[in-house]
Amino acid sequence: MRVLAAMSGGVDSAVAAARAVDAGHEVVGVHLALSRMPGTLRTGSRGCCTIEDSRDAHRVAGMLGIPFYVWDFSERFKADVVDDFVAEYSQGRTPNPCMRCNEKIKFAALLDRAIALGFDAVATGHYAEIARDGDGEPELHRGLDLNKDQSYVLGVLTQEQLRHCLFPIGASASKAEVRAEARERGFPVADKPDSYDICFIPDGDTKAWLSDKIPMRPGLITDADGHVLGEHEGAMTYTVGQRRGLRIERPADDGKPRYVLAVDPRENTVTVGPRKALSVDRLDGIRTSWCGAPPADVGYAESAAIDCEVQIRAHADPVPARMWLGEHIAEAEDAEATDPEGITPPRSRPPGRLMHVATALPLSGVAPGQTMVIYRGSRVLGQSTIDRTHRSAAAV
């Protein structure tokens, strides 16, 4: 096969490209330039897709003897990832930019261009595996090393995209094994630190970064009964579950910490309360998509729900749940007002199929805008963006 190896400049993508070469594929390396700031350099393990990363990827490609190119996707990245990130926060949601990057850049823009140029597949350094069902169709499964499993951030991939994906390191026993292989191959990135945090906010200060992008207005911090407890400088810089930096003037009656329960950008308010009030056991999702073939037995009513597991963060534990589908929103609309048991405010709903999930155990600190990925065992069924949450009995 003709394979385009996406080379980020890290150890995982370097070994993935090497294994694709070893498998006999005709491999071409490509690094995605996602920022036009020429002075951008990695700071420790923060950030990715920097000039330093591009040079590291180029060196590895040279050692493998494969062609190497840098593709400028900075405009597409800004529009589909950065601007989306800002827009979501302005609506009081907490987005996952890595999900959006995989959906819009690495497995849409990159894959589309690769196929147009005659490549059969794109190989990346993700820890995930692709299996085939009885009809030969691809299924996405967790990587062998559950500590490094990245199937969650790949939950946005479609069946057609999976047909053109290779994850050569998904069956690796551990990250240590991948690093050891990189050392044996003499790769200079063998001991390079993993990147973390948001790549376009390399200093990790999301609040300060957002303050430059979203007009901030001072507002009130209240409890669930509407009592004013303090003031904030901008509601959009808070997220559900946050504890630090609240600057509450009046302590809680029980002396325990308070947490952000809801952010309402329309009223410019932040609602706080005790930790137990973060407990939810019902999630409503928008922007639903299936990762591979959709499950044939999923129903459109709670009585026809299927058993599954739901994961709400990249490294969270999956929780047993029941999942069913809701109506299809034809056009963008405002969500109806929150019912008395809900804890999230109304917000704009984009078109698409709704997904409903009821968890067997309560979840804590779930924010609208997060992605819930649905599993059956090791297989990813699909994903949906959390739009509303509902309190569990334990929180009442």
**Catalytic sites, residue numbers:** 101, 199
Contact (Cβ atoms closer than 8 angstroms) between residue 233 and residue 218 = yes
Count the neighbouring beta carbons within 10 Å of the beta carbon of residue 352: 17
Token pair 């062609």 is found at 67
Count the neighbouring beta carbons within 10 Å of the beta carbon of residue 277: 21
H or E element: which one contains 208?
A: helix 206-211
Residue 183 backbone dihedrals phi, psi, to 5 degrees: -65, -40
Cross-strand pairs, 320: 309
For residue 22, give the 3-state DSSP assignment.
helix
Contact (Cβ atoms closer than 8 angstroms) between residue 328 and residue 353 = yes
Alpha-carbon distance of 88 to 261, in angstroms, equals: 17
Residue 6 DSSP class: E
Residue 104 DSSP class: I
Residue 82 DSSP class: I
Count the neighbouring beta carbons within 10 Å of the beta carbon of residue 304: 12
